[in-house]
Protein backbone atom coordinates (compact mmCIF):
# COMPACT_ATOMS: atom_id res chain seq x y z
CA UNK A 1 0.00 0.00 0.00
CA UNK A 2 1.52 3.34 -1.02
CA UNK A 3 0.40 6.81 0.06
CA UNK A 4 1.54 10.13 -1.42
CA UNK A 5 1.70 13.09 0.96
CA UNK A 6 2.69 16.66 0.02
CA UNK A 7 4.08 19.48 2.15
CA UNK A 8 4.71 22.96 0.79
CA UNK A 9 7.17 25.40 2.29
CA UNK A 10 7.08 29.19 2.64
CA UNK A 11 8.60 29.59 -0.83
CA UNK A 12 6.07 27.28 -2.47
CA UNK A 13 8.60 24.52 -2.97
CA UNK A 14 7.11 21.17 -2.19
CA UNK A 15 8.08 18.05 -0.31
CA UNK A 16 6.46 14.77 -1.19
CA UNK A 17 6.42 11.69 1.01
CA UNK A 18 5.78 8.37 -0.68
CA UNK A 19 4.79 6.29 2.34
CA UNK A 20 4.94 2.59 1.70
CA UNK A 21 2.97 0.77 4.37
CA UNK A 22 3.89 -2.83 5.12
CA UNK A 23 0.99 -4.20 7.16
CA UNK A 24 1.26 -7.28 9.31
CA UNK A 25 -2.18 -6.97 10.91
CA UNK A 26 -4.30 -10.03 10.29
CA UNK A 27 -7.55 -8.82 11.78
CA UNK A 28 -9.68 -7.39 8.97
CA UNK A 29 -11.27 -4.65 11.10
CA UNK A 30 -7.88 -3.27 12.16
CA UNK A 31 -6.72 -3.14 8.57
CA UNK A 32 -9.74 -1.07 7.60
CA UNK A 33 -9.28 1.32 10.54
CA UNK A 34 -5.59 1.70 9.75
CA UNK A 35 -6.38 2.50 6.13
CA UNK A 36 -8.98 5.09 7.16
CA UNK A 37 -6.51 6.79 9.51
CA UNK A 38 -3.92 7.02 6.76
CA UNK A 39 -6.45 8.45 4.31
CA UNK A 40 -7.39 11.10 6.87
CA UNK A 41 -3.75 12.14 7.13
CA UNK A 42 -3.46 12.28 3.36
CA UNK A 43 -6.64 14.33 3.05
CA UNK A 44 -5.58 16.96 5.58
CA UNK A 45 -2.11 17.23 4.09
CA UNK A 46 -3.53 17.84 0.63
CA UNK A 47 -6.11 20.24 2.06
CA UNK A 48 -3.32 22.19 3.72
CA UNK A 49 -1.48 22.29 0.42
CA UNK A 50 -4.29 23.99 -1.49
CA UNK A 51 -6.13 26.03 1.13
CA UNK A 52 -3.87 27.25 3.92
CA UNK A 53 -0.70 29.19 4.57
CA UNK A 54 2.31 27.31 3.21
CA UNK A 55 4.40 25.44 5.77
CA UNK A 56 8.02 26.12 6.57
CA UNK A 57 9.68 22.75 6.18
CA UNK A 58 13.24 23.75 6.87
CA UNK A 59 12.72 21.19 9.65
CA UNK A 60 10.28 18.30 9.48
CA UNK A 61 9.68 14.86 10.93
CA UNK A 62 8.28 11.58 9.70
CA UNK A 63 7.08 9.27 12.45
CA UNK A 64 6.14 5.76 11.40
CA UNK A 65 3.94 3.52 13.56
CA UNK A 66 6.36 0.61 13.54
CA UNK A 67 9.77 -0.36 12.23
CA UNK A 68 8.39 -2.17 9.16
CA UNK A 69 7.40 1.00 7.32
CA UNK A 70 9.51 2.78 4.72
CA UNK A 71 9.05 5.93 2.68
CA UNK A 72 10.71 8.13 0.07
CA UNK A 73 11.25 11.89 0.20
CA UNK A 74 11.32 14.26 -2.77
CA UNK A 75 11.94 17.98 -2.20
CA UNK A 76 11.57 20.50 -5.03
CA UNK A 77 13.81 23.49 -4.31
CA UNK A 78 13.22 25.47 -7.50
CA UNK A 79 11.97 28.64 -5.78
CA UNK A 80 13.94 28.38 -2.55
CA UNK A 81 15.92 31.67 -2.28
CA UNK A 82 18.88 30.28 -0.33
CA UNK A 83 19.68 27.22 -2.43
CA UNK A 84 22.22 28.71 -4.83
CA UNK A 85 24.74 25.92 -5.33
CA UNK A 86 22.97 22.63 -5.80
CA UNK A 87 26.12 20.66 -5.07
CA UNK A 88 26.04 21.95 -1.50
CA UNK A 89 22.34 21.29 -0.81
CA UNK A 90 21.93 18.49 1.72
CA UNK A 91 19.32 16.79 3.86
CA UNK A 92 20.40 16.09 7.42
CA UNK A 93 18.71 13.53 9.66
CA UNK A 94 18.77 12.27 13.23
CA UNK A 95 16.90 9.63 15.20
CA UNK A 96 15.01 11.99 17.53
CA UNK A 97 15.35 15.12 19.63
CA UNK A 98 17.72 13.39 22.05
CA UNK A 99 20.19 12.88 19.22
CA UNK A 100 22.28 16.06 19.03
CA UNK A 101 24.14 15.13 15.85
CA UNK A 102 22.74 15.72 12.37
CA UNK A 103 24.05 13.40 9.65
CA UNK A 104 23.84 13.88 5.91
CA UNK A 105 21.33 11.39 4.55
CA UNK A 106 23.15 11.36 1.20
CA UNK A 107 20.14 12.37 -0.84
CA UNK A 108 20.26 12.55 -4.62
CA UNK A 109 20.18 16.00 -6.23
CA UNK A 110 18.61 15.94 -9.69
CA UNK A 111 19.51 19.28 -11.25
CA UNK A 112 17.24 18.76 -14.26
CA UNK A 113 14.18 18.51 -12.00
CA UNK A 114 15.41 20.78 -9.19
CA UNK A 115 14.80 18.05 -6.64
CA UNK A 116 16.53 16.43 -3.70
CA UNK A 117 15.34 12.89 -3.09
CA UNK A 118 15.96 9.89 -0.89
CA UNK A 119 14.24 6.53 -1.25
CA UNK A 120 13.74 3.60 1.11
CA UNK A 121 13.99 5.66 4.27
CA UNK A 122 13.03 3.51 7.24
CA UNK A 123 12.53 3.59 10.98
CA UNK A 124 16.20 3.05 11.66
CA UNK A 125 17.39 5.84 9.37
CA UNK A 126 15.88 8.58 11.46
CA UNK A 127 12.63 10.40 12.03
CA UNK A 128 13.70 14.04 12.02
CA UNK A 129 15.12 15.96 9.08
CA UNK A 130 16.54 19.40 8.38
CA UNK A 131 17.31 21.05 5.05
CA UNK A 132 20.92 22.09 4.80
CA UNK A 133 22.55 24.36 2.28
CA UNK A 134 25.68 26.45 2.06
CA UNK A 135 25.19 30.17 2.49
CA UNK A 136 27.37 32.24 0.14
CA UNK A 137 30.06 34.45 1.66
CA UNK A 138 29.68 38.22 1.71
CA UNK A 139 32.14 41.13 1.41
CA UNK A 140 31.32 44.73 2.12
CA UNK A 141 32.29 47.33 -0.51
CA UNK A 142 35.77 48.84 -0.17
CA UNK A 143 36.43 52.53 -0.66
CA UNK A 144 38.87 53.70 -3.32
CA UNK A 145 42.48 53.87 -2.16
CA UNK A 146 45.50 55.97 -3.10
CA UNK A 147 49.21 56.00 -2.47
CA UNK A 148 52.23 57.93 -3.68
CA UNK A 149 54.51 56.68 -6.40
CA UNK A 150 57.10 54.18 -5.10
CA UNK A 151 55.20 53.89 -1.81
CA UNK A 152 53.66 50.66 -0.53
CA UNK A 153 50.16 50.91 0.89
CA UNK A 154 49.66 48.73 3.95
CA UNK A 155 46.80 47.25 5.94
CA UNK A 156 43.74 47.80 3.77
CA UNK A 157 41.20 46.06 6.02
CA UNK A 158 38.63 43.74 4.42
CA UNK A 159 36.17 41.65 6.43
CA UNK A 160 34.44 38.84 4.51
CA UNK A 161 31.79 36.87 6.38
CA UNK A 162 30.30 33.42 5.90
CA UNK A 163 27.79 31.33 7.84
CA UNK A 164 29.82 28.13 7.67
CA UNK A 165 33.44 29.09 7.05
CA UNK A 166 35.64 31.22 9.28
CA UNK A 167 36.96 34.24 7.41
CA UNK A 168 40.62 33.28 7.81
CA UNK A 169 39.85 29.77 6.48
CA UNK A 170 38.53 31.00 3.13
CA UNK A 171 40.56 30.78 -0.07
CA UNK A 172 41.54 34.26 -1.27
CA UNK A 173 42.41 35.40 -4.79
CA UNK A 174 43.71 38.93 -5.46
CA UNK A 175 44.26 40.38 -8.93
CA UNK A 176 45.19 43.73 -10.47
CA UNK A 177 43.71 45.06 -13.70
CA UNK A 178 46.90 47.04 -14.45
CA UNK A 179 49.80 44.70 -13.80
CA UNK A 180 52.31 47.22 -15.17
CA UNK A 181 51.37 49.47 -12.26
CA UNK A 182 50.83 46.81 -9.60
CA UNK A 183 51.57 43.22 -10.48
CA UNK A 184 49.72 40.34 -8.84
CA UNK A 185 53.01 39.29 -7.24
CA UNK A 186 53.17 42.64 -5.45
CA UNK A 187 49.85 42.04 -3.69
CA UNK A 188 50.02 40.29 -0.34
CA UNK A 189 47.72 39.78 2.63
CA UNK A 190 47.50 38.52 6.18
CA UNK A 191 44.47 37.53 8.24
CA UNK A 192 43.83 37.96 11.94
CA UNK A 193 40.58 37.65 13.90
CA UNK A 194 38.51 37.40 10.73
CA UNK A 195 39.97 40.53 9.12
CA UNK A 196 42.16 40.48 6.01
CA UNK A 197 44.85 43.13 5.67
CA UNK A 198 46.07 43.84 2.14
CA UNK A 199 49.42 45.32 1.17
CA UNK A 200 50.15 46.59 -2.34
CA UNK A 201 53.47 47.77 -3.77
CA UNK A 202 53.50 49.83 -7.00
CA UNK A 203 56.12 49.15 -9.64
CA UNK A 204 59.07 51.52 -9.30
CA UNK A 205 58.54 54.94 -10.92
CA UNK A 206 55.07 53.99 -12.18
CA UNK A 207 51.87 55.91 -11.51
CA UNK A 208 48.26 55.67 -12.63
CA UNK A 209 45.14 53.73 -11.67
CA UNK A 210 44.34 50.04 -11.30
CA UNK A 211 41.39 48.01 -10.06
CA UNK A 212 42.09 45.45 -7.36
CA UNK A 213 39.64 42.51 -7.24
CA UNK A 214 39.30 40.20 -4.26
CA UNK A 215 37.47 36.86 -4.55
CA UNK A 216 36.76 34.68 -1.51
CA UNK A 217 35.86 30.99 -1.72
CA UNK A 218 34.23 29.17 1.19
CA UNK A 219 34.42 25.46 2.01
CA UNK A 220 31.18 24.86 0.11
CA UNK A 221 32.72 26.27 -3.09
CA UNK A 222 30.60 29.41 -3.14
CA UNK A 223 32.27 32.74 -3.87
CA UNK A 224 31.88 36.45 -3.28
CA UNK A 225 33.93 39.25 -4.74
CA UNK A 226 34.57 42.94 -4.40
CA UNK A 227 36.71 45.45 -6.27
CA UNK A 228 38.18 48.83 -5.49
CA UNK A 229 40.18 51.44 -7.38
CA UNK A 230 43.75 52.19 -6.39
CA UNK A 231 45.41 55.37 -7.62
CA UNK A 232 49.19 55.76 -7.53
CA UNK A 233 49.96 59.49 -7.50
CA UNK A 234 52.98 60.78 -9.41
CA UNK A 235 55.71 62.54 -7.43
CA UNK A 236 58.58 64.76 -8.61
CA UNK A 237 61.65 62.58 -8.37
CA UNK A 238 65.01 64.13 -7.46
CA UNK A 239 67.50 64.35 -10.35
CA UNK A 240 70.34 61.87 -10.17
CA UNK A 241 74.03 62.50 -11.02
CA UNK A 242 76.03 59.63 -12.41
CA UNK A 243 79.24 59.09 -10.39
CA UNK A 244 82.30 61.05 -11.69
CA UNK A 245 85.74 59.54 -11.40
CA UNK A 246 88.57 61.52 -9.85
CA UNK A 247 90.42 63.60 -12.44
CA UNK A 248 94.18 64.43 -12.86
CA UNK A 249 95.82 67.28 -14.79
CA UNK A 250 99.39 68.71 -14.81
CA UNK A 251 100.11 72.01 -13.08
CA UNK A 252 99.03 75.08 -15.06
CA UNK A 253 97.09 72.88 -17.50
CA UNK A 254 93.37 73.21 -18.00
CA UNK A 255 91.29 70.07 -17.93
CA UNK A 256 88.46 69.97 -20.41
CA UNK A 257 85.50 67.80 -21.39
CA UNK A 258 84.76 66.10 -18.11
CA UNK A 259 81.49 64.34 -18.93
CA UNK A 260 78.71 64.70 -16.39
CA UNK A 261 75.47 62.72 -16.75
CA UNK A 262 72.29 63.81 -14.99
CA UNK A 263 69.03 61.89 -15.18
CA UNK A 264 65.53 62.80 -14.11
CA UNK A 265 62.29 60.84 -14.32
CA UNK A 266 60.13 63.80 -15.28
CA UNK A 267 62.55 66.20 -17.06
CA UNK A 268 64.68 65.42 -20.09
CA UNK A 269 68.38 65.98 -19.50
Q: What is the CATH number of the domain that holds 204?
A: 2.60.40.10
Is 93 found in the same domain as 11? yes
Is 114 found in the same domain as 152? no
Is 41 found in the same domain as 112? yes
Q: Are 139 and 225 in contact (CB under 8 A)?
A: yes
Strand stretches in the chain, DSSP E = 2-8, 14-20, 59-61, 70-76, 90-94, 103-104, 108-110, 115-122, 128-132, 138-139, 145-148, 153-158, 160-161, 171-176, 187-192, 195-200, 208-217, 223-233, 240-241, 262-263
Residue 64 lies in a domain: yes
Angle at 194 between CA 211 and CA 152, to 5 degrees: 40
State the residue range of the domain holding 96. 2-132
pLDDT, one tens digit per residue, over 133-149 is 677 899 989 999 999 99
pTM as predicted: 0.56
Is 108 found in the same domain as 46? yes
Residue 248 lies in a domain: no
Is 152 found in the same domain as 47? no
Is 117 found in the same domain as 12? yes
pLDDT, one tens digit per residue, over 204-218 is 999 999 999 999 998
14 has a pLDDT exceeding 70: no
Instruction: Name the 3-class secondary structure at 163.
Output: coil
Separation CA 245–CA 132 (nearest Å): 77
Is 159 found in the same domain as 204? yes
What's the Cα-to-Cα distance from 4 to each of 16, 34, 56, 66, 96, rounded to whole Å? Answer: 7, 16, 19, 18, 23
Q: Domain tally for the chain? A: 2
- Which of 102, 132, 162 is the C-terminal boundary of a domain? 132
Residue 238 lies in a domain: no
Is 41 found in the same domain as 72? yes
Tell me the backbone φ, ψ of residue 46, rounded to 5 degrees: -70, -35
Is 101 found in the same domain as 213? no
Separation CA 226–CA 138 (nearest Å): 9
24 has a pLDDT exceeding 50: no
pLDDT, one tens digit per residue, over 39-58 is 544 544 444 444 444 444 56
Residue 97 lies in a domain: yes
Q: What is residue 59's predicted lDDT score, i.e. its pLDDT?
A: 66
List the beta bridge partners of residue 208.
232
Separation CA 244–CA 77 (nearest Å): 78
Is 166 found in the same domain as 119? no
- Which of 103, 132, 161 is the C-terminal boundary of a domain? 132
Amino acid sequence: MVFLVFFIDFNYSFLAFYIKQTIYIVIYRKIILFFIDQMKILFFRLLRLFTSTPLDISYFGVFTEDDHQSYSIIYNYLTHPMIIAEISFKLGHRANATDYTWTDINGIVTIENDTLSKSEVDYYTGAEFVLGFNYPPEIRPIESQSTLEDTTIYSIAITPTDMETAACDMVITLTSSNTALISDDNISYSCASGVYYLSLTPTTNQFGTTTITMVVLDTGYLTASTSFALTVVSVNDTPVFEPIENQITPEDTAIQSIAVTVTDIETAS
